[in-house]
Chains A and B, each alone.
Chain A
């Protein structure tokens, strides 16, 4: 590991090198020096994509490869220290952007951050319709652990069976959440195609965002539970 003492130039409207106007280009028109990407640049814009949730992944990949060929440090070997630093930082942003948009869940989380200022990590929340099942599952888990400690094979087998049942319930819930999420993706994309011009439509947009956020929150809870269960039952 190394300590870097230099700071990067921040993205500005002027070239960091010759101060001429760059008008949002990657390279300065005057001195051809590579320009830093803004850290706040929206990833959809970065790839020239509309802010939709079902995206053309082939196009995303093509664009990612294209931009990698523009910014990758391999092409800046032998350039000035500053240009190398800009290439490094830009590549890091580009890779992060691609990783985020490639995965549908990270994509929707990112969209929620952009559109509704959601937190980076959406906290998990237990689905209300599963309260009872979850409470029961906790009991089975306790029984399971107690039986393991006491080497009580019979209780262990019974608790194991009940836990496997609970796992089925959780998996079904997960599938349901993901199906609904897919529906919301469609709804959202339609709204993007026809931007809302009246109050009800704006309200629909907000409702959709909120529902997606709640779904993600519940999904995160369910996934955690499932992971725990899988570890216990393994």
Chain B
């Protein structure tokens, strides 16, 4: 079977992991770093992702997008509150957010696909083979649209998403594999953008999720913003400065705030220094840990209600939880650890690297799906109640939250007037009474042959698969035939849109490759120029006048190629300079060798 990798597509950082024999292992990049920042930047010569894009955050803030996971499966109205924190522009089309970067308008799945491609390339370089299949993790509390958007991102990146796994459950797999534990565990996952809590029962290799809850819009990003707000206020008061129209400053504040927050997890006090625009000196501010804790206290508190709800849904008192596992970078904050400890009455575990454990779990699930590990099985649940809108705008529930998946429900539909040829169905997810207070997933139309009212009987099956994604089938009860359905996703891409994006992504990829090749050639050109200059300085006297003239001409030629954008011209120029300086280099080498040999005895050399 083709290799399946495990991917943690995070708000802040993403990782790819695989099963190395019996040990899940994160695949490092060329510099040995395991985390790929989930950042994409657009430069005149193409898209950059990961660390390269991170460098563009301050230099190129309007065209560098991050925390895109917060926009997956969302409309613009869902995120109006936080727009002011992003230096890039957002719009909406057909219920899907678009990010404006450069002259392009891209959807969150397309941006995420670029991050996925980076991970895919990393894995491909590591294995020396093409990777086509992946398990991708999502927050447990992601709804159907958000899950579908993640699957679309995979498709656009050229990956078949063989399974969507919930992040806390993935973490429990990595944890359970290592510890071989039995009992009830609670996984508390607070990352950059999302919060999840899952309560699981581990017994003889079965990982049964009893309940899950969370908030897909709560994480470290929100903590950073509290610090940014204080700094923005300071700047206004002390320097009459506003970040309005100063995306660089806005970005600078966010980055310094995040760094300060992280430092305050170990230090009790820290200084933030931000250069002011137009060389007006610096803004300095001391933050204490106590101050930070006061600023974010309500946010940390906000994670506790979902924990209590999950316990209640699992039918367990907090004291029945045997172990609490912490996942996600934000659980490094002492305040978070204290609160979790107080709620569950036990010291939480954090010995597994909270940045990596989700990706490791994804690799474990990938191995299970490949038929590797056979004694472990994950039984997950659907996090939100699924229902349809009925008379009076009320939601009638079909599948309750925390139902073990796969699961299905059937519903019979008929007509109310003679000759009616279609029935509209509005699908919802959420815990509220009224349809309008829940999340709209899609509206679809059942086509029905004209008949007297009440005669048609169409049975619709709502199946939530192991990915937590809804599949709908409709069948005419009388004829047994499958009925056609027309769906309009409320916050999602249509199949045709995804197809187009897959094609577009190849165009971007070409640009990316060209950009990468150009950068590599530039680096090479710079180093050969430096080497030539050194050689001329040390051994210019060894070269004949013809050689010298040829070298100088080739240097000039290379310098002009470096000013252009054509990487092929650059390669040519490098090649020419290499040739021109070859004999000089050889002479230099020989003289260096003689120099070195002077002091040595003959016996040392032979």
Contacts and interface: CB of A to CB of B under 8 A. Distances in A.
Interface of A: 1-7, 61, 65, 68-69, 72-75, 77-78, 88-89, 91-92, 95-96, 98-99
Given A1-B470, A2-B470, A2-B472, A73 B489 contact: no
Interface in B381-411: 403-408
A3 B473 contact: yes
A95 B377 contact: no
B472 A3 contact: yes
B457 interface: no
A88 B471 CA distance: 11
B549 interface: no
B242 interface: no
A92 B408 contact: yes
Contacts, number: 88
A77 B407 contact: no
Nearest to A73: B466
Given A2-B472, A95-B405, A95-B406, A65 B442 contact: no
Contact of A65 (B204, B466, B471): B204
B437 to A, nearest CB: 16
B469 interface: yes
A222 to B, nearest CB: 21
B442 A1 contact: yes
B206 interface: yes
Given A7-B475, A73-B406, A1 B1 contact: no
Contacts of B466: 72-74, 88, 91
Given A3-B485, A4-B471, A88-B465, A68 B370 contact: no
Nearest to A77: B369
Contact of B379 (A5, A7, A68): A68
Interface residues of B, number: 41
A74 B466 CA distance: 8
Contacts of A96: 407-408
Contact of A7 (B482, B485, B489): B482
Given A68-B206, A73-B466, A74-B378, A3 B471 contact: yes
Residue among B377, B444, B469, B489 with most chain A CB within 10 A: B377
A88 B406 contact: yes
Interface string B134-160: 000000000011001000000000000
B318 interface: no
Contact of B404 (A2, A4, A75, A98): A98
A75 B1 CA distance: 13
20 contacts: A1-B441, A1-B469, A1-B471, A1-B472, A1-B489, A2-B148, A2-B469, A3-B472, A3-B487, A6-B482, A61-B203, A68-B377, A72-B466, A74-B368, A74-B369, A78-B1, A88-B406, A88-B465, A92-B463, A95-B406
B377 A69 contact: yes
Nearest to B373: A74
B206 A65 contact: yes
A71 to B, nearest CB: 9
B442 to A, nearest CB: 5
A96 B403 CA distance: 9
A84 B470 CA distance: 16
A74 B375 CA distance: 12
A69 B485 CA distance: 34
Nearest to A5: B482
B262 interface: no
B465 A95 contact: no
Given A65-B206, A91-B406, A92-B408, A1 B377 contact: no
A92 to B, nearest CB: 4
Interface in B1-29: 1
Given A1-B441, A95-B405, A65 B369 contact: no
Nearest to B462: A1
A190 B482 CA distance: 46
Contacts of A95: 403-407
A98 to B, nearest CB: 7
Contacts of A61: 203
B403 A99 contact: yes
B299 interface: no
A72 B379 CA distance: 9
B162 interface: yes
B403 A2 contact: no
B427 interface: yes
B465 A73 contact: yes
Contacts of A78: 1, 370-371
A190 B369 CA distance: 46
User: What 4 A-B pairs have minimum CB-CB distances, sorted nearest first?
Assistant: A1-B470, A77-B369, A95-B404, A92-B408
Given A3-B471, A4-B471, A77 B162 contact: yes
A2 to B, nearest CB: 5
Given A74-B369, A96-B407, 4 more contacts: A1-B489, A3-B471, A4-B473, A73-B466
Interface in B192-247: 203-204, 206, 208
Contacts of A75: 371
Contacts of A65: 203-204, 206, 208, 377
A2 B492 CA distance: 11
Interface in B34-69: none
Nearest to B483: A5
B598 to A, nearest CB: 68
Interface in B308-348: none
Nearest to B204: A65
A153 to B, nearest CB: 29
B19 to A, nearest CB: 14
Nearest to B374: A75
Contacts of B369: 74, 77
Contacts of A3: 444, 471-473, 485, 487
A102 B265 CA distance: 44
A7 B204 contact: no
A99 B473 contact: no
Interface in B158-211: 162-163, 203-204, 206, 208
A4 B472 contact: yes
Nearest to B4: A77
Contacts of B148: 1-2
Interface in B414-447: 427, 441-442, 444
